[in-house]
Amino acid sequence: MPTGVHIRDARQQLLDAAERVLLRAGPGALTSRAVTTEADVAKGVLHRHFADFDDFLAELARDRIARIDARAGELRAAAGTGTVAGNLAGALAELFDPVTVAVAGLVIFRDELRERLRGAAVPRTPPVLTEMTAAIAGYLAAERELGRIAADAEIDPLALALVGGAHLLCAGRARTRPPAGEIDLVVSAVVADVVQRRLL
């Protein structure tokens, strides 16, 4: 693109381009040149909108985190409806869409990016996966309060197991989701005990 031509919403254009590169070629291929080439803009456009490439990548991850946080609210609101396993399976399948899986891989792949996203905090899991785990834990806590899972259910380990299992199912599949039913089986196995014991 010629220098001086105004680009409408250049930040979003660059972020969208980064998602396409991630899906097509994975975290290792995501460079500033790959992004600007994909977006069909001059390389300087990225540096006019972001302090450096890691600042750009942090914005890409924060965009995904904002989506996860929004979905977390919807999931908590679903407590008391449907089935616990069904709600969890649906949420995990949605949360682990191919772009989010790729961004999670990127955060794991790049130490500097992980540190920028963490700030002073040192969570047990990498950013993006941390927010997913919090979303699942918040839902489980709401269901425990409603008596739909056992009152002594250990929420944090359950959330870690659910997110970890779903991530393992999704991480090795570029641009695709797991076959129907795989996440359901993991969820059912993880929550079966706490769902059954609330009936005792």
Q: What is the CATH number of the domain that holds 70?
A: 1.10.357
Q: Answer yes or no: is pLDDT of 65 > 70.
A: yes
Residue 176: closest CA among 105, 64, 96, 77: 96
pLDDT in tens, 89-125: 999 999 999 999 999 988 988 888 888 888 756 566 7
Range(s) of the domain holding residue 39? 1-49
pLDDT in tens, 122-159: 566 789 999 999 999 999 999 999 999 999 999 999 99
> pTM value?
0.88
For the CA atoms of 9, 10, 15, 17, the dihedral, rounded to the nearest 10 degrees, stands at 110
Question: Exposed, middle or buried by CB within 10 Å (0-12, 13-18, 19+), for 194?
Answer: buried
Tally of structural domains, the chain = 2
Q: Judge if 70 and 44 occupy the same domain.
A: no
Query: From CA 108, how far away is CA 166, in angstroms rounded?
Result: 16
Q: Judge if 119 and 143 occupy the same domain.
A: yes
